[in-house]
Every structure is written in C-alpha cells, then in structure tokens.
Amino acid sequence: MANRLAPMLNSLVATNQSAFICGRCIHDNYFLVQQIIKVLHRQKVLSLFLKLDISKAFNSISWSFLLEILAHLGFGSIWCRLISNLLSTASTRVLLNGELGDQIRHQRGLC
C-alpha cells in the first residue's frame, strides 16, 4: 500500500510538511525559519516566533475524519474500505510477567 501511495504523496501532503516524504528533508523548514529570522533581524523588524506541536496528534486522529478526507481527495471506495478494515481490526495485547493479557481493540489513532 505504501509503495502505491508514494508517487501521490507530494500532491497530497502540504509542502510545509517535510518529514517522511521522499525528496523532502525535515531540516528544510528549520533552514527556512532561520533565513526568515536573519532577514527580519537585518531589517530591524520587531517579530515574535512561536513553535507549536500538537501533542500525540498521530495517536488521536479520528478514523471517520481520515476516511472522509481520503474520499474528498478522490480515493475510491475500495481504498477507503481497505483503510477502514486495517484500522478497525487493529488490536493490542500486553505481555506482563509472562502472561498475555486480553485483546484491546483500538478506537482511534494510526499506531
């Protein structure tokens, strides 16, 4: 699935998202911000920079929202059904002191 999606990722993922996309480098955004700061400093422009990161966004994404976005982006019903099946059958079992615990069904997130 990942190999089939790879050629489309550049058009699906915003250009300011630079990590984990072939041909993009996570450091690009850092260098861009560094250059902007230098220009603003040279021009003596009073500025404030704030970096925000949504904590655990990857783990809290709503599956229905993800499926709506995929449909909106033109992914066919077969792809959406495949993704839905992968998500809805995800589960975890914890091994504690050599004993395997009950199955925990996932309800959101992509991990």
Q: What is the pLDDT of residues 67-93, one digit of tens each?
A: 999 899 899 999 899 888 888 888 888
Query: CA torsion sign, 6 to 62 to 30 to 16?
Result: positive
Q: Is the pLDDT of residue 44 over 90?
A: yes
Phi-psi region of 66 (alpha: psi -120 to 50; beta: other; left: phi over 0): alpha
**For residue 111, is pLDDT > 60?**
no
Residue 50: is it exposed, middle or buried by C-beta count within 10 angstroms (0-12/13-18/19+)? exposed
CA 3 to chain centre: 17
Q: Report which of 67, 104, 68 is spatially closest to residue 89, judged by C-alpha positions.
A: 104
For the segment 39-50, the average pLDDT, to the nearest whole number, is 91
HSE (side-chain half, CA atoms, 13 Å) at 68: 5
